[in-house]
Amino acid sequence: MTMLALRESVRRRVLIVIAVFLGLAIPASAARLQNEGFESGDASLWLCDGEGWRISSYSKDSYRGIYGAVNDVWTNGVSEYRVVHQEMDVKPGKVYRASVWVRAVCVEGSESFLEIQFMDRSGTILKQLQSSRVKRDQEYTQIVIDRITVPEHTDRVSIRGVVHLVTQPVKDTDYHVFDDFDFRQVTGPEALPAK
């Protein structure tokens, strides 16, 4: 091994050790969603409200990995709102970015969107944000809500995939698929207000 190759090998090892150390030294305040892609094979750590939710391993029901959360909007369904959601602690004044990958199939009378709710300690909703709505068939598209500043007095946030039954489907079941939710704190240029 030449001296240059040896130096490069040592440099790589040092960088790996630093990267591992930094990866393990993430502060508790940098909480992240758990089971964000449903790769546990179930809805562990998520709550599913309304009818029609299932975790699917059908290949087209996952953007990445094996599983995705699917809401079946049946022709005889009755739940106007169907929500898959998870709560996590946040600190007021911090800036976050939320996203989810959504696929919609056979959509006739429903729509889906990403929703963020900020709550105080008592569970009162202080602020609610919603993304644009998916109202027609589409392949996986990332839906993003950017530069979200956590309001004062917020204790926790609810990250929500929402399906809204607008009118009853007539021909077939509508399908809305959610995968790879993300809610993360951003800093630097990503946290600056949009121009």
Q: What is the pTM of this model?
A: 0.82
Residues 148 and 113 in one domain: yes
Residues 133 and 155 in one domain: yes
Q: What range defines the domain where residue 63 resides?
A: 31-191
Residues 83 and 43 in one domain: yes
pLDDT grade, residue 2 (50/70/90)? Answer: low
What is the structure's pLDDT at 191?
Answer: 73
pLDDT grade, residue 195 (50/70/90)? Answer: low
What is the structure's pLDDT at 28?
Answer: 38
CA distance 159 to 156: 10
> Is 9 exposed, middle or buried (CB count within 10 Å of its CB: 0-12, 13-18, 19+)?
exposed
Residues 11 and 42 in one domain: no
Contact 101, 139 (CB under 8 A): no
Identify the CATH number of the domain in which residue 163 sits: 2.60.120.260
DSSP 98-154: EEEEEEEES-SSEEEEEEEEEE-TT--EEEEEE---B-S-EEEEEEEEEEEEPPTT-
Residues 84 and 180 in one domain: yes
Residues in the chain: 195
CA distance 55 to 71: 9
Residues 73 and 16 in one domain: no
Total number of domains in the chain: 2
Measured torsion, CA atoms of residues 64, 69, 72, 78, in degrees rounded to the nearest 10: -150
Taking only the tens place, the pLDDT of each residue in 85-118 is 999 999 999 999 999 999 999 999 999 999 999 9
